[in-house]
Amino acid sequence: MGYLESRKNLAGSAGGIAGLALTFTGLAGAYWPAVVLGLYGAGALIAPPEHPPLPDFPDPSAQLDELRGDFSKLREYLNGVELPPAAAGRLTELTEILTALLDPGWVAAVLAQDPEGVHTLSRAIRQDIPEAVDTFVRTRWWTRMTPGTEPPERHLERQLAVLHEESERLAAQLRETEARRQESLTRYLEDRGRSQ
């Protein structure tokens, strides 16, 4: 059924109809079946190939909706974990930035236009933060068994500091994008005012 609606069949059918027209006008003569089949084949050969449809990926706003859901799950997990005060403070600062970036509105709309930014946020929420906290919890237990080793709190604080810096860089990039957009609009309006 798919071939009947294909470009090749439609172009071949048009060629076959042209062959029948030649037959009825008397130009094809006794070889009319070969003319009709030949024109059908020629039409089918020159027709452009079928293009597979593009995959239906979710739009960026749908990706951010999924990310918001995952962030809610992460916050529930983090609420159940006991962290040292310094690491808890760093984690609070980090989650505040992530909350601000994911809030629905114009910030999320700007973020949705930045695939790298969405990927960075997704990686932090779905992988980096849970892994850092989980590794801390597991290592803390082993540290109790072997006193005198480097406290796992230091690693957790450093990891959260790196993730905080990464989130701040993302926020700064989004801010710069909006600033460039504003400057472009100013130049456009000034140029339009001069041309009138």
User: What is the rounded distance in angstroms from the CA atom of residue 109 to the CA atom of residue 61?
Assistant: 7
Q: What is the pLDDT of residue 90?
A: 93
Supply 188's token pair. Answer: 């456009």
Judge whether residue 91 has pLDDT over 70. Answer: yes
Q: What is the pLDDT of residue 19?
A: 86
Question: Which residues fall within 8 angstroms of residue 2, CB to CB, at 6 or more apart?
Answer: none
Domain range annotation of the chain: 7-46, 60-195
Q: What is the pLDDT of residue 70?
A: 95
Residue 173 burial (C-beta neighbours within 10 Å; 0-12, 13-18, 19+): middle
Q: How confident is the model at residue 144 (pLDDT cuts 50, 70, 90)?
A: low
Q: What is the pTM of this model?
A: 0.66
Q: What is the pLDDT of residues 157-193, one digit of tens each?
A: 999 999 999 999 999 998 998 888 889 999 989 888 8
User: What is the rounded distance in angstroms from the CA atom of residue 82 to the CA atom of residue 161?
Assistant: 18
Question: Which residues fall within 8 angstroms of residue 37, CB to CB, at 6 or more apart?
Answer: 16, 19
Q: What is the rounded end-to-end Cα distance, in angstroms, of the chain?
A: 60
Q: Which residues of 34-50 are buried (b: 16+ CB within 10 A; e: fewer)?
A: ebbeebbebbbeebeee
Task: Check residue 127 and report its DSSP letter.
Answer: I
Q: How confident is the model at residue 87 (pLDDT cuts 50, 70, 90)?
A: very high
User: What is the rounded distance in angstroms from the CA atom of residue 60 to the CA atom of residue 94?
Assistant: 23
Q: What is the pLDDT of residues 101-122, one digit of tens each?
A: 998 888 888 888 888 889 999 9
Q: What is the pLDDT of residue 166?
A: 95
> Helix 129-145 to helix 85-102 angle, to the nearest 10 degrees?
170
Average pLDDT, the chain: 87
